[in-house]
Structure 1
Amino acid sequence: MAALSLKCDECGAALRSVAEAQAHGDATGHSAFSESTEAVKRLVCRECGKTCRSADEWSLHTKRTGHQGYDDKTNEAEAVDTEAQMKAAAVEEAGGCGGGSAAPEELVPAEVNGELLAQMEAMGFPAARATRALYRSGGENLEAAIGWLEEHGEDADLDEPLLVPKSQPKAKLTPEEARAHAAELIRKAKDKREREEKEMEKLREAERIRAGKELALAARQEDNLKLKRLVEARRLEKEEEARAREKIRIKLEEDRRARRRAKGLPEELTEEEKEEERRKAAAKVEEEKRRKLPIKPVQVGEKMRRQLVEMKKAHPGQEEAVKVCWNTLLKMCGNVYTHPGEEKYRRVRLTNPAIQARVAAFTGAVAFLQLAGFQPDGDNLEMPADRVDRAVLEVAGEQLQSAINNPFFGVL
């Protein structure tokens, strides 16, 4: 099989070309290389296009950038023509074959602190990346090199061997300059992390608001569904009741006809009997009108609801205490509704310590009782027997039940 890479016989490093082998030899002093049929991995990131040479390098790239997907193009590697590459390298080293008035400047591998390079390699950084970071950051501080990597993590040539002009070696920084440069790189890396954290916080806050709106919308939809189900159940109940009444009417009609036949009378009513039936029916309708319950006062109910909402807003952070007040109001209105003739239920002493703690201490509670029918009488509230309105008391009970049982009452 054709060779797909070169392998260092001394350290086992996989190299893609003769040029990389030369750079590796210059940096490490290794000189024994052999051809290998195993291609150097080419894991190309789908988001930024960066090429990683190993699984460890890809794992480091993922941790640093958050990118997840890559395309494995290892099998697309071309065969290594060692002889041709060595000739090309020799021609380039000799100054090219075309000739010219000025020879190209010779490039050599960058030299860095060997101890710091070994530390970065032990941390998992590839040799080429660690060398470039140490060289570009001054080469005297490990933190500065890591800070430089955080700033230049997206550079396309980050993992390429660093070659520098031989005639222009990089000026060595003084200890003070190196410390200042390292501090600047660390500051920039910290600022970058802070900006990213602020952006993530904004995204989390936006998600929290969206989730809250969805929760409120779901609660409203559930209330609407409950109302629709209640209306539908009431409709079916009315239809069933109508069918039952029709059956009873037919049965009564048959019984009436049988009784008339038994008495020797015609089955159909005479005009006088029909008139009498119409008169009885009209009297029954009038009686039902007198007995019919009054329509619930909608306007009073709306005022009661607004009063309860204002009461909740006036006492933030006291949800449980407000619920105790509402339950007390519900009990008071319920007692009057159930026992309208009992005077003790229609009279409230506001000076009573229990009433003071559970009712009078909360803004709007006394006003709610007045909407329900209680009237001020000195330090007391009293509902005259002739002013008891069961429809209003029923509306008051419904509003209080809604405020107590609905967790979103007063929120929207």
Structure 2
Amino acid sequence: MAVTEVDSKLLAELEAMGFTLARAVRALYYSGNSSVVDALNWIFENQNDPDIDQMPLVPVDINLESPKPFDITEEVKKKAEELRRNGAPKATEEKKMELEREREKKRITVGKELLEAKRIAEENERKRVMTLRKAEKDEEKRAREIIRRKLEADKAERRSWLGQPPGVLASIQPIPASHMEPGKLTSAPIKSTKDSELLTNCLRSLRRNCKDDDAKVQRAFRTLHIYVRNAMKNPGEEKFRKIRLTNPVFQERVGKMKGGVRFLELCGFERANGGQFLYLPRNKVDMAVLDSAMAALQTAMTNPFFGLLSVDLSDE
């Protein structure tokens, strides 16, 4: 099969009227290749055929006779114009439908991509939340372990003060006076342990009441540490054993903090001059108590979980 051959002049006339090559060749071929009028009539009668714009194929041995010359009249031109007008809307409508089908395909594709992206985002968020929760649980577990070890260390230290062997828990009973050896102060460890607990609970109360402002708490701990250290290193100098309660710096760092003044009072400071000063009398400087205060402050400043998770004893 080969593309059919038609009269080139008739073909040129139909193309000049605006018809496509395939439609012009098909019209000339099926109208007998006789004249433009016959070709136009064929187009007019078959313009709705689905294959009207397909190039006709014929056997290679077919020879077409040369058509007769034909003059293009006004009537022929009008008919060609009418055919073009009738065919154009149909082609335009088909093109619009094709474009709409393409747009619909794109909308479906975009919709699927958006759903997949949303699913992936939700899955990633779920994994992130699970990871965060696991990290929080692990952190809480580590914090509890640190607190447990600290409590065990505190218990061991108290047992050491009481002269008990490690790992043995025994109730502390006061020793009767009849069993006390002359010159031996057997009640000192018990007093030291009680002081240490009271001092620690006082710092815990301070931390608990300002747990949302860690910087303020640490500043209060450092200030108390300075007061206690100065009193221990310079017990003979009054200026290191005397604090003005109305001092703005003292009030801002310690005085306004719940438990701050109470901690100093437990260290031996007393209110003097009508309550204007905290004063530590020289004869009441107790190095054991001050040493316990320093140890409690050191623990409070270095343990990030101090006073947050543990259960405090009464400081009464």
TM-score (norm 2): 0.48
The higher relative CO (CA closer than 8 Å, separation ≥ 6) is in: 2
Larger radius of gyration: 2
